[in-house]
Chain A
Amino acid sequence: MEFSLHFASVFAESDLIIRGILLTIGLSFSAILLGSGLAILLVASRNLGNTFVRVCVDAYVELLRNTPFLIQLFMIFFGLPLLGVRMSGTQAALLAMTLNLSAYATEIIRAGVDSIHKSQIEAGLSLALSRTQVFRYVVLKPAIAKVWPSLSSQFVLMLLASSICSFISVPELSGAAAIVEQRTFRSFETYIVVTLSYLALALVLKLILIWLGHRLFHRKVVSILSTASKEGIA
């Protein structure tokens, strides 16, 4: 059987794909900001709080890190409405992504905080800073600087995992792909275009994160080929 690729009908739907790309960027960007913010709060309360708080934070992190993102998404999207919390697919996706990323980021930033030398904290306390001030002004920035590469790859993995939101019909890039595929019957061509879009998005995000690491933490600018991840997300 002769088979040839026809991209014309896929490109005819390019406004759908572009809207999908924009939603993927919006979801990922918001989840990265909100998830990181939540993670910093969790690390701070784990560090400054009592044993009970620490156990709660650890349980939160382990529960989210050891269950698939897909199931977390289903729990939020199908489960929460039964409790009276109604939300759209996009809102559920953003909530799931934020919570998922916050757990991974908490674990990563905690490792950075643990690596800060005790003498730094003692020096801060001896200057009459409160423990919260020490965390805020002495510990936090070097901790994040230290784990920036891990944090960066986690952000990229979150961008990739956002594709899973198409399971609940969120019209982000993968969701848009499903619609285009149904309209054009050009499955393989559609997914070639969409896969290349993800590739471009992920590479651009990697470059931005390398640049940010350089600007914020004076990290060395590294080749994008050496940013490979040793983690994975689900």
Chain B
Amino acid sequence: MSTFGWPEFLFLLRSAGWSIVLTVIALAFGAVGGGAFAIMRLANNAVLRTIAAIYILVIQSIPVLMILFMAYYGLSIAGVEIPPLLAASVSLSIYVSAYLAEIWRGSIQAVPPQQWEASASLALTRPQQYRYIILPQALRISLPPTVGFLVQLVKNTSIVSVVGFVELSRAGQLVNNATFRPFEVFMVVAAIYFAICFPLSRLSRYLERVLHVGRSH
């Protein structure tokens, strides 16, 4: 039985790096999907609108853990061994896309409708309206809730430890198995998560305050 010392602590810190890598990957791919579904959700075409609404409803109604297993075993059907990082990235991206789609739909709808009317009267096409008028304003509105959601994403990366990917939570389990000092180990793991998430939570609240001031006039 080994003790919980510097090498173990550094191992946890390195694994926290993998949690952040996963967060960034999921955010990047999830943002693309989320943006697409947000705009689909607001499309004039009722079929597109319904497809996006159902996608969001379904993904938000199943646990991330199940998305992970479905991705892991679903992709394995092709007969190839799936690297845990791939399964983790795919499933977290799907999860992120459904939540960001909803956050961003709300942000786009929060842009005053007069902005749509005014830009339409200038003969802008719908893509032009989005590109030059709506999205720049929606981006400001969406920033605080998006950063807030980032906190949830960082925490949810802990779930992918189940397919054997060594991020912070898995590293904590490994160190605990070797040292059997659950309190110290998981306290440190929790502290590292807290050190990542708490500043993001505060940033989200700060952005809410400063951006709201700018918007009220």
Identify the A interface with B (CB < 8 A).
Answer: 1, 3, 62-63, 65-72, 74-75, 78-79, 82, 156, 160-164, 166-167, 174, 177, 187-188, 191-192, 194-195, 198-199, 202-203, 206, 224-225, 227-234
Contact = CB atoms under 8 A, between A and B. Distances in A.
Given A225-B57, A232-B152, A234-B156, A194 B186 contact: no
Contact of B61 (A71, A78, A192, A198): A198
A3 B159 contact: no
Nearest to A74: B186
Interface string B177-205: 00000110011011001100110010000
Given A164-B159, A229-B99, A66 B194 contact: yes
A191 B163 CA distance: 14
Nearest to A69: B155
Given A67-B190, A188-B74, A194 B66 contact: yes
A207 to B, nearest CB: 11
B43 interface: no
Contacts of B98: 228
A70 B167 CA distance: 13
A174 B183 contact: no
A209 to B, nearest CB: 13
A131 to B, nearest CB: 27
A70 B159 contact: yes
**A-B pairs with lowest CB-CB distance, top 7:** A234-B155, A232-B152, A78-B182, A202-B61, A163-B63, A66-B197, A68-B158
B180 to A, nearest CB: 9
11 contacts: A65-B197, A66-B151, A68-B190, A164-B63, A174-B63, A188-B77, A191-B66, A202-B60, A228-B102, A232-B156, A233-B155
Interface of B: 53-54, 56-58, 60-66, 69-70, 73-74, 76-77, 79, 95, 98-99, 102-103, 106, 145, 148-149, 151-156, 158-159, 161-162, 169, 172-173, 176, 182-183, 186-187, 189-190, 193-194, 197-198, 201
Contact of B183 (A79, A194, A227, A234): A79
A232 B153 contact: yes
Nearest to B193: A67
Given A65-B201, A68-B158, 16 more contacts: A66-B194, A70-B158, A71-B190, A72-B190, A78-B186, A82-B182, A174-B65, A187-B73, A188-B70, A195-B69, A198-B62, A229-B60, A230-B106, A232-B156, A234-B152, A234-B156
Nearest to A177: B69
Nearest to B180: A78
Contacts of B154: 234
Contacts of B76: 187-188
Contact of B186 (A3, A75, A206): A75
A217 to B, nearest CB: 22
Contacts of A187: 69, 73, 76
A66 B73 contact: no
A173 B45 CA distance: 38
A55 B161 CA distance: 34
B62 to A, nearest CB: 5
B202 to A, nearest CB: 9
A175 B210 CA distance: 45
A89 B187 CA distance: 20
Contacts of A188: 70, 73-74, 76-77
Most buried by A among B69, B151, B172, B189: B69
Contacts of A62: 198, 201
A227 B57 CA distance: 8
Contacts of B66: 163, 174, 191, 194-195, 198
A46 to B, nearest CB: 17
B6 to A, nearest CB: 21
Most buried by B among A63, A69, A192, A225: A225
Contacts of A194: 66
Given A65-B201, A82-B182, A70 B169 contact: yes
Most buried by B among A156, A164, A191, A232: A232
